[in-house]
Amino acid sequence: MSGTTPVVEQVRSADGTPIAFERSGAGPAIILVGGALSDRNTTRDIGAALAPDFTVFSYDRRGRGYSGDTAPYEIGREFDDLAALIAAAGGSAAVYGISSGAVLAALATAQGLLVTGLVLFEPPFQVGTHVGVWKDTTAQLIELIAADDRDGAVETFLSSSVGLPAEAITGMKAQPMWGSLTAIAHTLPYDEIVTAGGRLPADRLAAITAPTLAVDSTGSPQWLRDGSRAAAGAVPGGRSVSLDGGYHEVPPTTLAPALREFLLA
């Protein structure tokens, strides 16, 4: 992250699946958990912004990048992946999860992993009048992947789950990045399983004992912002903060100082 080619390391999860990660920086450990259609490259910018104060672990969730995969998918296997990374980090670590990765991070922490601090960026929970704002497309995505229609799977996810208009998706398809999205389209059902249709698992979040901060962007839809705050409210002692940003994103220059302030206090 300092201009040199990152070294890719591996750990073995409990089921033997290799999980690839990059390590950078110096300081207490923080593990970055990406969301849907992302791999370790997606978190590189925020990782670089955190590296002066943390040892940053950016990893490919199973089925993506250089990580392996083991069928059938079970969310518990992803908990084990995170546990293996925490072990590689020395036995405990802070965790920063993004979108569906935030849901994964929260549920894994609730299972009792040694998480020193938890930051959740806009976990896509639907609460209040926003329930039903997007559809659970798990079954449809599984069918599309089985038919090897990766373009269709990504389009379905972006339109039905993310809510992007057709013209925005058409524009994305014309960009080089589209190939990187379709390459990991088979993992989209994993994220749908993790998010469980957007239901807020308040009972499970109540089991989290790690200091927890939920972050939302001022440029995001209200349903995402409300869901993020509801997640903080479900965690004992949980806090929430709104940061200046765009649609489902906050620039690393704004986000990193907030993470430092919370995790290093």
Q: Is residue 1 part of a domain?
A: no
pTM (2 d.p.): 0.95
Q: CATH number of the domain at 86, please.
A: 3.40.50.1820
Q: Is residue 2 part of a domain?
A: no
Q: Is residue 3 part of a domain?
A: no
What is the full DSSP assignment across 36-90?
Answer: TT--TTTTHHHHHHHTTTSEEEEE--TTSTT----SSP-HHHHHHHHHHHHHHTT
Q: Is residue 99 part of a domain?
A: yes
Per the structure, the count of domains in the chain is 2
Does 29 share its domain with 97?
yes
Report pLDDT digits (tens) over 164-219.
889 999 999 999 999 999 999 999 999 999 999 899 999 999 999 999 999 999 99
Q: Is 263 helix (H, G, I), strand (E, B) or coil?
A: helix
Does 16 share its domain with 78?
yes
Rounded Cα distance between 169 and 124, Å, is 20
Does 107 share its domain with 152?
no
Does 59 share its domain with 149?
no
CB count, 10 Å around CB of 164? 17
Q: Is 15 helix (H, G, I), strand (E, B) or coil?
A: coil
Report pLDDT digits (tens) over 112-140.
999 999 999 999 999 998 887 777 889 99
Q: Is residue 69 part of a domain?
A: yes
Average pLDDT of the residues in 145-174: 92
Cα–Cα–Cα angle for 51, 55, 56, nearest 5°?
70
- Expressed as residue numbers, the domain containing 245 is 8-130+198-264
* C-alpha 161: how far from chain center: 15
Report pLDDT digits (tens) over 30-71.
999 999 999 999 999 999 999 999 999 999 999 999 999 999
